[in-house]
Amino acid sequence: MARQPTHPTRPNAEKNPRRDPTAAGQRDASVNRIASHNYFLLEKFEAGVALTGTEVKSIRAGRANLKDSYGLLKDGELWLLNCHIGPYEHGNIFNHAPLRTRKLLLHKEEIRKLIGKTQQRGLTLIPTRMYFKNGKVKVELALAKGKQLWDKRETERRKTADKEAREAVARGRRRD
């Protein structure tokens, strides 16, 4: 028979209340906002990243930038190019290079699936956000198709129309 606890326990107590929200996984470390403006984001994948210690500390400090970065499939492996992670402030001569190529970690089946889609349809891999999950740095990659200028204008028109409709509905509710 199971033993009953003698003292009450708090089921959802936070481990460390003073911990940084980015490191705790409550907030994204970096977001690529321009990606949804320049690309149609079709399918998203979660990938781990092979990093050095100073890179992880720098990401925790919020010094990562995904703006011009992209994913590349080469020899059955996935790589993250042009991702800028600023040097760690308290690092020494062994600090990392800010724009080095980093390996992304995915399952083989997912990589095979991505190889087929990127080669056949002319799609590309764009990182949309970088975040912490269980203490590990993860990158959300989106399978994306580039937008033309008229696509961008149409998206902007649609957003404006939706916003105006929401505001009209809100004004109607306030009058009642």
Q: Classify residue 174: in a domain, yes or no.
A: no
H-helix segments, the chain: 35-38, 53-60, 108-120, 149-175
- Sorting pLDDT into bands at 50, 70 and 90, what band is 165? very high
Bridge-based pairing of strands 77-81 and 70-74 is: antiparallel
pTM for the structure as a whole: 0.71
Task: Find the mean pLDDT for residues 35-53.
Answer: 86
Q: Please give the Cα distance from 118 to 114 (Å, whole number).
A: 6
Is 171 a domain residue? Answer: no
Question: Is the residue at 67 inside a domain?
Answer: yes
Res. 93: pLDDT tops 60: yes
Name the residue range of residue 81's domain. Answer: 30-146
Give a yes or no: residue 8 inside a domain. no
Q: How many domains does the chain have?
A: 1
- Sequence-ordered list of residues with C-beta below 8 angstroms from that of 127, at least 6 positions apart, any chain: 32, 35, 66, 69, 70, 71, 80, 83, 139, 140, 141, 142
User: Cα-Cα-Cα-Cα dihedral of 28, 32, 35, 37, to 10°?
Assistant: 90
Q: Can you give the CATH number for the domain in which 133 is found?
A: 2.40.280.10
For β-strands 102-105 and 77-81, DSSP reports them as: antiparallel
Domain membership of residue 122 (yes or no) is: yes
Q: Identify which has the larger pLDDT, 23 or 169.
A: 169
Q: How far apart are CA 106 and CA 110, in angstroms?
A: 6
| 36 assigned to some structural domain | yes
In a domain, 105, yes or no: yes
Residue 34 corresponds to which tokens in the numbers above?
């321009």
Output the six-digit token pair for 41.
């984001």
Mean pLDDT of the chain: 82
- Please count the CA atoms within 13 angstroms of the CA of 116 that sit on its side-chain side: 5
Reported as a pLDDT band with limits 50, 70 and 90, residue 176 is low
Alpha-carbon distance of 77 to 106, in angstroms, equals 9
